[in-house]
Amino acid sequence: MFVFTTPGDGAIRDRLAQLSGAPYSYAEVGALENPVFPPGYRADRHRAPLGRGAACYERAKAALQRWEMFNVAWVRLHPQAPPIAVDTAFGISARYLGVWNLNFCRIAYTVEDKGEVERSGFGLGTLPGHILSGEERFCVEWHRADDSVWYHVCAFSRPDRLLSRLGYPIVRQLQTRFARESHAAMARATAV
């Protein structure tokens, strides 16, 4: 949905109610947990350091739970910090070229891995009407071997509407910009 003003809470609640129980807009739900991306999608992997040690990892996990990676000037979450739980649906609005674009997603799975590499995060999937079709995973990782802590965004997507096909170069630029700015937001949130 494209609008010229900030999307209203009532319209967002109504759309979330309409999407309750709706299927994802793609068939490969959970595919980011596999080593190979599904065919026919554009793959993205962005990984950036946050610091070192258990304390940094705990701060990074807390920042992820607060959705700090969305603390960028041109993006809004609706509601502001939805609970990170499977089946939680929410809206994401992004403003560019003077227009707000509102899309809806649902948390498809959560990640909590222990071991030599600890991971914490979640994957979200697109819902009907989103300009893209696909999945995105946000994780923080603690590599015990070298004590490093990383922020990792991984996604596969493809245009799902005519407008997104026509404007796909702009969509790709915005995806890259978001990855860069979300890392900066996570770095700020985990700094001591």
- CB count, 10 Å around CB of 80? 10
For residue 35, being part of any structural domain is answered with no
Strand residue runs (E) in 32-174: 42-52, 75-78, 89-96, 99-113, 117-126, 132-143, 148-159
Place of tokens 């807009």: 25
| Per-residue pLDDT, 4 | 64
Task: Give me the number of domains the chain comprises.
Answer: 1
For residue 155, being part of any structural domain is answered with yes
Q: What pLDDT, in 10s, does the model give residues 67-103?
A: 999 999 999 999 988 999 999 999 999 988 888 888 9
CA pair distance 159, 147, nearest whole angstrom: 38
| Encoded amino acid at 64, one letter | L
User: Which range of residues forms the domain containing residue 170?
Assistant: 2-24+41-190
* Spatial CA neighbour of 50 closest among 154, 120, 142: 142
Query: pLDDT averaged over the chain?
Result: 92
For residue 143, being part of any structural domain is answered with yes
DSSP assignment of 132-160 equals EEEEEEEEEEEETTTTEEEEEEEEEEEE-
| Per-residue pLDDT, 2 | 63
Cα radius of gyration rounded to whole Å, the chain? 16
Return the CATH number at 172.
3.30.530.20
* Spatial CA neighbour of 45 closest among 161, 184, 129, 154: 154
For residue 83, being part of any structural domain is answered with yes
For residue 30, being part of any structural domain is answered with no
Q: What pLDDT, in 10s, does the model give residues 18-56?
A: 998 999 999 999 999 888 899 999 999 999 999 999 999
